[in-house]
Chains A and B, each alone.
Chain A
Amino acid sequence: MMQEQVFQKVVSIITPFVKAPEALATIGMESSLVKDLKVNSARLVDVVLEIEDTFGMAIADADADRVKTVGDAVRLIQAAQK
């Protein structure tokens, strides 16, 4: 799957959790889930579960803990797809 496709899917997974909807207009690979998009940090668990379900992959806790930005999630998914 191309990076852009993965990126768009990640954005759609994150969107329901975004508490700063205005930040969606400028969302990019460097956007921080918690700082920029104001996702409640407790909900990162749910984002990871949805990524697992959507992409049919298992994410180790240590890898999940390193997901701070949209790009972190995209790269994690792409690495699993190789």
Chain B
Amino acid sequence: MAPREARVVVTGLGVVAPNAHGAIPFASALREGKSGIRFHPHLEASGFGCQVGGIPEGIEAIEARYLGEEERRAMNRNMVFAAIAALDAWDDAGLARSPGGSDDVDWGAGAIIGTGIGGIDTVAEKLAPKVDAGKVGRLGSTMVEQIMSSGNSARVAGLLGLGNQVTTNSSACNTGTEAVVDAFLRIREGRAERMLAGGSEGPSKYTWAGFDAMKVLQRRANDRPAEASRPMSASAGGFVPGSGAGILLLESLASAERRGARVYAEVLGGYVNCGGHRMGGSMTAPNPHGVRRAIQGALSMAGVPAQSIGAINGHLTATFADPHEVASWSAALGLPPSRMPLLHSTKSLIGHALGAAGGIECVASVLELFHGFVHGSANCEDLHPELTAYAASIPHRTVERPDLRVLAKASFGFGDVNGCVIFGKLGG
């Protein structure tokens, strides 16, 4: 007989976001509709059309509290964001850190911390200039660990003595959500007791430049940063690039109960897939059938009816795809516009953090569920004409929802990849 599948819960949250650092300040920032989007002169100087972005503030001033000097010398921003969010999530869950230099390895705990583009700042600012100047011998010892895709999760493993699976996934803008799904499945199957899961992304202009060149970034609001990110708006002009890290500590319910841990939420279901670049899908556009299958797959695993979903934290980036995404939600759930749950976009406040987006937005989703609110989706008072039928379901300001029991979170990425997670209140 197959072993019974474990129930999985969220017991810790860590977030480094453009509008807040830490779960409690982040929850407040979401409630208050605080924007983390700023004008950045260095983008103007580099000839970007989009000169606004979301960069976590004040992190340099606090990172010495988290990391030793030797570690910091070997870490780029992507890795620092991941480490701070992971350590915060671990502490938030009430877990003790294995002291550095000890031989304690936590064989039951692992990490899946993804990134979309990762250490490109290291490549552009350190590796390439020295190599091109014939100074390979001056690179030092830390290049590989900073440019290897798994640098963020590898560093976290060392900080905490993790002994289970430690890896970095990458599926473009679906990365963080995919990490949560994969970690959830690993615990569910009994292969790990607890996993740090989410994503991180540095704020490098080299990461953002390619998107700017594609003309998919917002370039019409450089003088109005807080209004720049406009998901679901008729005047949406592309996404605003963001950065940061969002990491959840997932744990078997049995382990959480044994420890007497606070439970934020239960992960009821999760699903990832790809649209195969067919049926309207491509490298840069989603196959709507794939999107619907991902949502329905997560819902099916969760075993809850579509009507029970109280809120959707969408991917909703402020590109042409927003109306298509909303239509896909409606079709996947089998609910007409008039009966749709609350729809909102965390990107309206922090921009699109790429490989970190799913992680940060899963943290937002869990906080909303735990505290019983749905944050306002900013800058869509002028709703896109294809979304007018959904107007009653799109909150512009934060609404209290103490009865919120189930929330759906999805992410979609270049490569036609999709991910969906269903979070529920424990005992919900």
A interface list, Cβ under 8 A from B: 16-17, 19-20, 38, 40, 42-46, 49
Contacts and interface: CB of A to CB of B under 8 A. Distances in A.
A43 B100 CA distance: 17
A38 B73 contact: no
Interface stretch (B134-142, B161-169, B170-178, B408-416): B134-142
A44 B140 CA distance: 9
A54 B69 CA distance: 18
Contacts of A45: 140-141
Interface in B63-97: 68-70, 73
Interface centre among B73, B138, B140 (most CB of A within 10 A): B140
Interface in B99-143: 100-101, 138, 140-142
B140 A17 contact: no
B411 to A, nearest CB: 36
Given A19-B100, A20-B101, A38-B101, 9 more contacts: A19-B70, A19-B101, A43-B70, A45-B141, A46-B73, A46-B140, A46-B141, A46-B142, A49-B138
B69 A43 contact: no
B73 A16 contact: yes
Contacts of A40: 70
Of B68, B69, B70, B138, chain A has the most CB atoms within 10 Å of the CB of B70
A43 B138 CA distance: 13
A22 B326 CA distance: 59
4 nearest A-B residue pairs (beta carbon): A16-B69, A45-B141, A42-B141, A46-B140
B142 to A, nearest CB: 7
Contacts of B73: 16, 46
Contacts of B69: 16
Interface of B: 68-70, 73, 100-101, 138, 140-142
A43 B101 contact: no
Contacts of A20: 101
B168 to A, nearest CB: 20
A46 B140 CA distance: 5
Contacts of A16: 68-70, 73
A49 B140 contact: yes
Contacts of A19: 70, 100-101
Contacts of A46: 73, 140-142
A80 B65 CA distance: 39
12 contacts: A16-B68, A16-B69, A16-B70, A16-B73, A19-B100, A20-B101, A38-B101, A40-B70, A45-B140, A46-B141, A49-B138, A49-B140
A40 to B, nearest CB: 8
Nearest to A52: B138
A38 B100 CA distance: 12
B101 A17 contact: no
A12 to B, nearest CB: 12
Nearest to A38: B101
Nearest to B144: A42
Contacts of B70: 16-17, 19, 40, 43
Contacts of B140: 45-46, 49
A25 to B, nearest CB: 16
A67 to B, nearest CB: 14
A42 B141 CA distance: 6
A13 to B, nearest CB: 12
B428 to A, nearest CB: 46
A17 to B, nearest CB: 5
A44 B70 CA distance: 12
Contacts of B141: 42-46
B303 to A, nearest CB: 49
Nearest to B101: A19
A42 B142 CA distance: 9
A23 to B, nearest CB: 11
Contacts of A43: 70, 141
Contacts of A42: 141
Contacts of B142: 46
Nearest to A40: B70
A38 B421 CA distance: 44
Nearest to B72: A16
Nearest to A42: B141
A15 B101 CA distance: 16
